[in-house]
Amino acid sequence: MDLEQRIKNIFLKYGAVLGVLYLTLTIISFYLITAISVSPIVFVALPIFSRLCLPIVITIVLCFSGRKKIGGLWTFKQATTGIFAMFLMAFAIQFIGKDIVFDKFIEPNGVRKIQIAAIKTKSSNLQHKGYDQKTIDKEMAEMKKDLVHQNNALTPGAVIQEVIFSILFIFLFALIFGSLFKNAEYVSGSQTTNQRQ
């Protein structure tokens, strides 16, 4: 098996691991936000931590592990290809697991539950800050109006567009991670060898 194929195989497996972890963190975050009355800071920070910070740390660990498994030497192209395969596999697992299975069959009212939790959180935050009931009612009416508009925007075309943007975003991230995890010594060494030939 050549090096490129080994990289793809290793990083597709890592993508499955990353996808399952990301899916698990997303579902745990959903239940924590909707089941527990949380402060506005926790309401915002929990998804950022579980969907962004922790997955980035896990991705970095997997990239180092994958690079070590193939011998520690790879070019920018090899790094980008492997990391893109990992991200694409993780996205596929997340999309199928969360957007199709979880949202359609396990928690079909999940979006509504998150919206209710957001309304409760904002309402309690405004009360805590000492706003009068008239101002709170006005803010809640505007928020509900925005949420209805968001619900109406969830069409099949919008979902397809979101998937396309996600894949482009994944490729951009793969390029960034590929440039960070490429092995500079290997690249400069191979360039020197080519120049001698």
**Residue-level pLDDT at 192:** 44
Displacement of CA 148 from its chain's centroid (Å): 25
Per-residue pLDDT, averaged over 67-72, amounts to 89
- How many angstroms separate the CA atoms of 47 and 21, rounded? 14
**Tens digits of residue pLDDT in 86-144:** 999 999 999 999 999 999 999 988 888 888 888 888 888 888 888 888 888 888 888 87
Per-residue pLDDT at 94: 95
Q: What confidence tier does 85 reach under pLDDT thresholds 50, 70, 90? A: very high
Mean pLDDT of 56-84: 92
Whole-number Å distance between alpha carbons of 95 and 93? 6
**Mean pLDDT, range 65-93, rounded to an integer:** 93
- The whole-number average pLDDT for the span 162-188 is 86
Q: Rounded to 5 degrees, what angle do the CA atoms 105, 33, 163 make? A: 55
0.85 cut: is pTM over it?
Answer: no
Identify the band that residue 185 occupies on the pLDDT scale cut at 50, 70 and 90: low
Contact, 2 vs 70, CB < 8 A?
no
